[in-house]
């Protein structure tokens, strides 16, 4: 403080932790499956995929996973985490479809993550158990509402956008 100047107060942000959210979304059925973890490693991702295969889609012959190009999202991650026969068992039922590098707008899980953030996580929660509890309640409520994504992006729109994107990237 100095004569003629108002008192100034500085705010220092105190971080209480970071949580990572894994989400699988079945847009036509209006279902999503969410897992909150302390880290975002290959092991975390591999365990999430195994849960999808063994719990949520145990009777499905095949599971299509549309995802971004994060380095942890790979078939090799399952082999690094599980025994070879276990990794192969899971992978035999999964098909990986990667969104274009600059095309996260194609990933409907990103839309659901934005809804989750806006409806549930857009405030400070400093306890992982509380985050898990609230995310679980949100997921259950949203699944029971049969909430679906109103996807209005047509195949033709995608071709135009991808062609434009491709010409920009290859220029």
On whether the CB atoms of residues 36 and 134 are closer than 8 A, the answer is no
Please state the domain extents for the chain: 20-169
| CB hemisphere CA count around 90 (13 angstroms) | 26
Q: How far apart are CA 117 and CA 6, in angstroms?
A: 37
**Residue 105 has what DSSP assignment?**
G
Q: What six digits make up the tokens of 23?
A: 């989400």
- Please report the sign of the dihedral spanned by the C-alpha atoms of residue 76, residue 79, residue 85, residue 90: negative
For residues 57 and 156, the model is more confident at 57
Fold of 20-169: Nucleotidyltransferase; domain 5 (3.30.420)
User: Is 31 in a helix, a strand, or coil?
Assistant: strand
Residue 96 has pLDDT above 70, yes or no: yes
Report the chain's mean pLDDT, rounded to a whole number. 86
pLDDT at 85 over 80: yes
Position 70 scores a pLDDT of 83
The CA distances from residue 155 to 18, 25, 98, 158, 162, in Å, are: 37, 20, 17, 5, 10
Q: Where residue 102 falls among pLDDT bands split at 50, 70, 90?
A: low
**What is the pTM assigned to this prediction?**
0.77
Give the pLDDT confidence score for residue 71 in this predicted structure.
86
Q: Is the per-residue pLDDT at 169 higher than 60?
A: no
């Amino acid at each position: 403080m100095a004569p003629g100047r108002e008192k100034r107060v500085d705010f220092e942000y105190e971080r209480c932790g970071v949580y990572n959210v894994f989400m699988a979304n079945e847009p036509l059925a209006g279902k999503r499956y969410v897992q909150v973890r302390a880290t975002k490693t290959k092991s975390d991702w591999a365990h999430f995929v195994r849960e999808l295969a063994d719990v949520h889609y145990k009777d499905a012959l095949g599971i299509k996973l549309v995802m971004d190009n994060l380095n942890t999202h790979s078939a090799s991650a399952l082999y690094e985490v599980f025994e070879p026969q276990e990794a192969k068992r899971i992978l035999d039922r999964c098909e990986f479809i990667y969104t274009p590098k600059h095309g996260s707008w194609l990933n409907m899980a990103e839309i659901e993550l934005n809804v989750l953030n806006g409806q549930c996580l857009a405030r400070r929660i400093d306890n992982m158990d509380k985050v898990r509890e609230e995310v679980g309640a949100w997921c259950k409520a949203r699944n029971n509402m049969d909430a679906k994504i109103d996807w209005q992006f047509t195949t033709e729109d995608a071709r135009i956008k991808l062609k434009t994107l491709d010409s920009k990237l290859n220029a």
